[in-house]
Structure 1
């Protein structure tokens, strides 16, 4: 594996390595990039779907833990139906009906789940080959990030306008992963682009996320109908299984649901001046790893891997069954193009879509119960 940047006199605070991970259609190479900070935190991403395929962070006693579920072989990503680690777009979540109005005109988005347009359609951002360049920080004497770029043509999956999207992944020496997504369009279109990473803070040995503690800083959520489409209501979480204002054990909370798990959107209060606000916190007692999620987006979708199955084998040999990981996707409200009261997902020429999410990692030992 070759190093793209190094200092001959001392170890740089960031290192970026790359190699070929596989080959897509017409033998197009898919690159794997690994970025490491001075604490050994390591991010692994590939150019197919700009996907996160690994994220190692320090746990108790300094042990490195891979907190992201993914596959070992590129071929598994080619047949992946669950968007493991992918950048999803142009619009994430379900849009129903799939014919929507954009700038007063009826636009037919490609349905890919019955009559529902889901996560960008049949050939969304998750299946694209993105171009990549390092982001260099001269004052730090190293590479602190990488930038992915993809040009989505006019009419792709029904969306109007050529769209240029860039995704920056940066590590900090405070053990943070910062993701910034920007986009510009040549015609009025729709946009809501999250990262669909699956987290299990216990690492490959943690079979499920039942013992994880989740906090969501939201007073309201958007309920779903029987087809998992937002009803258009905005409902208080008070007195419901969707109240995570205080940390709740995910296994206990799922047990209160009428469904197989969470695949719902919470309404996050925006920060002043577009600054990221704290949307959620996830903690795993077995590893001691905590992850705070900060974002500039109005919504947080929590998906508990309800459709995963025992047939899915992860990069470290782990079985990626139902509820083996959780996605915390910062985005607009699902089905926003069909619900007037939801925040607008419209992007017009001259505007810049600008979406920042910060995953901030920490370690603490689990508290022992008091002696009776």
Structure 2
């Protein structure tokens, strides 16, 4: 009985409205129906706007962010996210690249689709060879979330809630998850994640936007200058599963401690880069885990757009769209080829449940999960 009371208290604290709810149709947020799933669940598109004209479009299906329009150095707004033109294409195609989606229960990879927790082995659905990727066959990215407009002091947002049942994709425990997207008046995209469970499980949530700061469809991101504040990364085997080691970036082509053009070393003969066919690595961020700190910066010289990333998480996954091959037809008829966008996913380390030396991803009834990520957009002359 004591653990039930403890769990309910944590659930209330974690998932109770921490923003003021208000009508979906206001000057700051609008809502429109776009279709239904095969099961008849209704899908809506929400549009957030700020006084600067910056605009974000989000669906309750997969918590997917379809577009994000921010100004370039000349003040011209442009969409910096890869994605499909028709919102229902995310459902019809299965969204194999995970464009713009919320990823869970466990972001990134879990080796052999299994892990041991308190002596019990849990077998997950596998969808990446013999491994589990991005939560399994039908992760959070393919679920319909309950959505509600939210009001914050200096911006507007959308709160998304989803109940993941015990055993879903093989994970134990009923999990109540909440993600709040906020677009602030000073051009910051804020993402707050929280979750609670009625029994021990593992969790690792993130968001999978593909950014091209020149504007989606305007070529690749190889000319983008990238900085990542990390001294180490988690090296991987040929299946992109962490070996369990923490390796220094110094002396490798994965070193972004000072700005480098992404394309300057992406064709390196470094075995790690060859495994990934580009960059697809978890960086061990500098600073104290649990405190907000500057994780990365990206600059596109062609547009003048800059993006700073802040997080309280231990890791940041850099992915450079290595498996895009032109078959994904996006907005404005764009064919997204290799390296058309990059992802900077705030997270815990991949395969943490199978590596006791990694920061723990165990979610217990008396220990709710929370994380915050900030993506700040601005320009340079």
| TM-score greater than 0.5 by the shorter chain | yes
CA RMSD of aligned residues (A): 1.4
Equivalent position to 2:193, from 173, 177, 181: 181
Aligned counterparts of 1:289 and 1:244: Cα–Cα separation in 2: 19
Q: Where do residues 31-110 of structure 1 align in structure 2 (5 Å cutoff)?
A: 31-78=44-91, 79=93, 80-110=95-125
Aligned counterparts of 1:359 and 1:162: Cα–Cα separation in 2: 30
Aligned counterparts of 1:55 and 1:151: Cα–Cα separation in 2: 27
Q: Which runs of 5+ in 2 are unaligned?
A: 1-22
Are 1:207 and 1:319, in contact at CA under 8 Å, matched by a contact in 2? no
| 1:126 lines up with 2:146 in the alignment | no
Aligned pair in 2 of structure 1 residues 161, 321: CA closer, same or farther (>3 Å)?
same
Aligned to 2:156, the other structure's residue is in SS state strand
Aligned to 1:97, the other structure's residue is in SS state helix
The aligned counterpart of 1:241 is: 253
Are 1:120 and 1:157, in contact at CA under 8 Å, matched by a contact in 2? yes
CA-to-partner distance for each residue in 1:295-341, whole Å, 9 max, x for gaps?
Answer: 01100000001111111111222221110000000000001111111
| 1:220 lines up with 2:232 in the alignment | yes
Q: How many residues align?
A: 352
Aligned counterparts of 1:109 and 1:257: Cα–Cα separation in 2: 34
The aligned counterpart of 2:10 is: none
Aligned counterparts of 2:295 and 2:215: Cα–Cα separation in 1: 23
> Alpha-carbon deviation of 1:204?
2.7
Aligned counterparts of 2:203 and 2:269: Cα–Cα separation in 1: 30
Aligned to 1:198, the other structure's residue is in SS state coil
> Alpha-carbon deviation of 1:75?
3.7
What TM-score do the two structures reach when normalised by structure 1? 0.92
Aligned pair in 2 of structure 1 residues 341, 133: CA closer, same or farther (>3 Å)?
same
| 1:253 lines up with 2:273 in the alignment | no
The aligned counterpart of 1:202 is: 214
Are 2:217 and 2:335, in contact at CA under 8 Å, matched by a contact in 1? no
Aligned counterparts of 1:61 and 1:96: Cα–Cα separation in 2: 47
Are 2:196 and 2:368, in contact at CA under 8 Å, matched by a contact in 1? yes
The aligned counterpart of 1:370 is: none
The aligned counterpart of 2:19 is: none
Q: Which runs of 5+ in 1 are unaligned?
A: 7-11, 366-372
Aligned counterparts of 2:242 and 2:189: Cα–Cα separation in 1: 30
The aligned counterpart of 2:38 is: 25
Are 2:312 and 2:372, in contact at CA under 8 Å, matched by a contact in 1? yes
| 1:279 lines up with 2:295 in the alignment | yes
Aligned counterparts of 2:288 and 2:33: Cα–Cα separation in 1: 40
The aligned counterpart of 2:128 is: 113
Aligned counterparts of 1:113 and 1:197: Cα–Cα separation in 2: 20
